[in-house]
Structures are given as structure tokens and as C-alpha cells.
Amino acid sequence: MARSHARAWRHSASSAMYRGRFAPSPTGPLHFGSLVAAVGSYLQARSHGGEWLVRMEDIDPPREMKGAADDILRTLEAFGFEWDGELLYQRSRSEAYRDALNQLDHANTLYGCVCSRKEIADSSSAGIEGPVYPGICRRTPINASGVRAWRVRTEGAHIHFEDRWQGVVERDIARDFGDFVVRRADGLFAYQLAVAVDDAAQGITEVVRGADLLESTPRQIHLQQLLGVPTPDYAHLPVVLNERGEKLSKQTYAAPVDRIDPLPALFAAAVFLGHTPPPEMRDGDIESFWRWSIEAWNPERVPRKRGLPATTGARAA
């Protein structure tokens, strides 16, 4: 195994090597939608001769399923994924997240919020992903003892980036999202902060993930800029949709992939991503599938869509 970056706040290597990652949340078994994200990120990294890291985003215990993290890792191994370095578990990263919060605080970009959900709902406008916090506590000094959550300032933040598959994205963070939470009322660190910190610590050069996380990217870039860390490239794959047009997930009762017979699901993931393995490989082995896939991988063949039905890959089954 390659060296671990688990305890580094900032990545210090000087190498320009491509480094990607797969970062599942242990809320249930790996399903086809997650497999597509894993396959896309893996092939993008390996076709560049780069590294592929696995990070377990286990910072939200109320949403997690007991044993899911180990189950996901066993599934990745059964499907022939080979990751570099040690696994990174976000549950072990509290010190790094606290350091980042302290940095935001010292830069006067962090403030405490005492507003309840009802107060926010009653006074907010509609944003891209829910209510836009109107900045009530930003304008009023708050006693730390009464703070429910910690928010980051967003006034004047305009984010522009070009996604590999989704094109140009421009967002006014204050208008579209508002001052967003970086530490929750229950004391847990927020997803946006954890991801920004860990992508920097691990030296990720390109984030390949599902398009359901496209709108998280402007907030993560905003945090990267405030923290003074590099911004990776972004490439958001189309998400897999069920017959009702919903993203495959635990909430929509997505079935787990079959560890006993991985090839059909791997074939389907390749087809979903615009690639067609030779039919004779159906009777081959996983190593042959990966060898062909890495050689054949062409990012230009990936559909430039936010989502596609699961049946897009059905002809591979």
C-alpha cells in the first residue's frame, strides 16, 4: 500500500500525478448508482496512470447503517477495485475539521447562528437546494453559549468553474445558497467542510462523482478559497435513475449489487458510461474486464447528462 495522508491537513507532495478518489457514505450496501460512480472515478484515475483513493464519509452517524462500511469495502474488493494508500475514515478527522473552523474564525468568515429551522423557513427565500439563510445572525453578535450551528459568510462570493461533463457552472453563493452551515446544531461537522478539508489533505487533483453533488461544488470551492487550499478539477457523472425518475439510493430502495457475480453489473456500468465491452468478455474474468476498460476508457464518450435511467446499461446484462 502507498503512504497514507490521513493525518495531513495540507497535502505536501510535489508530484503532479493524477489523484482521484471514491468517497461513499456508509448508509447501506453498494448499489448500481454508487457502482457507476466508483467505476467512472476508477477508470479516470487509472487511464491517467494515477492513484485512486477510497475515503469513507462516515461523519453522520444518525444516517449510517451498522456494518455498511465494511460491506462496501468487501464489495469493492469483490469487483476488483484496487485502491492506493490506506483508507481514510472521516470519523477520525475531527481535529483537522476543528483546525479548519479555527482558521475560518480567525479570518472572520465564521459566525454562530441561533435560529431554529422554523425561524429560517419563515424568513428565507427559495434557493437551489432549499431555503437560503437570510443572514439574521450575521448582523447580530451572538453569545457562543446559545449557538445552534456555525455558518460561513458568503457575501460577494461568485464561483465559476467548468465541469468536465456538465459544462460551465456559475453560482452566486449568497443568493443561491446563503451562509451555509459548516458545523451542525448536533455538533457534527457538515459535509461541505469535511469534503473540502479532506480533498485538500489527500491532494485530490480531480473529483469524479455523481451529478447529484454538482451543487455542492460551488460551496466546496468557496471553502477552499477561504482556507487557501487548491481547487481540484471536477467531473460529475450522470446519476442513475429508477423507473420513476428518482436517483438510485437507499431512500428509493435501490438493490445492492451482487458480489457473487460482479461481471454483469460491471458490464452495465461500462455501458451506462458510454463504453461497450466486447461480448466475449462476458465469459472472461474481472482482471480482463479492468484491463480492457482502462485501455478503452474515453471521457468524451461519457454522456453529458445530469441523469439517465438504469436501463441505459441494461443491454449489457
Spatial CA neighbour of 154 closest among 169, 130, 132: 132
3-state secondary structure of 164: coil
Longest dimension (CA), the chain: 68
- Would you state the pLDDT for residue 5? 25
pLDDT of 15 reads: 46
Instruction: Give me the domains of the chain, ranges plus CATH numbers.
Output: 19-92+203-215+234-316 (3.40.50.620), 95-193 (3.40.50.620)
Task: Give the chain's end-to-end CA distance (angstroms, integer).
Answer: 34
Identity of the amino acid at 317: A
Q: Sheet harboring 19-22: ordered strands across?
A: 19-22, 51-56, 88-89
Distance in angstroms (rounded) separating the CA atoms of residues 189 and 208: 23
Residues 63-101: b if buried by 16+ CB within 10 A, e if exposed: ebeeebbebbbebbebbbbebbbeebebeebeebbeebb
Contact 98/67 with Cβ under 8 angstroms? no
Look at residue 11 in the predicted model and tell me its pLDDT.
45
Specify whether the CB–CB gap between 50 and 57 falls below 8 A: no
Average model confidence (pLDDT) for the chain?
91
Distance between CA atoms of residues 279 and 192, nearest Å:
42
- What amino acid is encoded at 127 in this protein? G
DSSP 8-state class, residue 215 = G
Spatial separation of the C-alpha atoms in residues 243 and 255, rounded to whole Å: 13
For the question of whether the overall pTM of this predicted structure is more than 0.75, the answer is: yes
User: In the structure grid, which three cell numbers stand for residue 236, read together?
Assistant: 460529475
**DSSP bridge pairs for 112:** 150
Q: DSSP letter at 169?
A: E
Tell how strand 88-89 and strand 51-56 pair up: parallel
Q: pLDDT of 244-270, one tens digit each?
A: 888 888 777 789 999 999 999 999 999
Q: 263, 270, 268, 269: which is closest to 298 by C-alpha?
A: 270
d(CA 18, CA 7): 20
Alpha helical stretches, state H, the chain: 32-47, 68-78, 94-106, 117-123, 173-176, 191-201, 217-227, 263-272, 286-296
For 137, phi and psi rounded to 5 degrees? Answer: -75, -15
Closest CA to 7 of 104, 97, 106: 97
CB 205 within 8 A of CB 180: no
Cα Rg of the chain, angstroms: 20
Residues of the chain falling short of pLDDT 50: 1-15, 315-317
Distance CA 208, CA 266 (A): 17
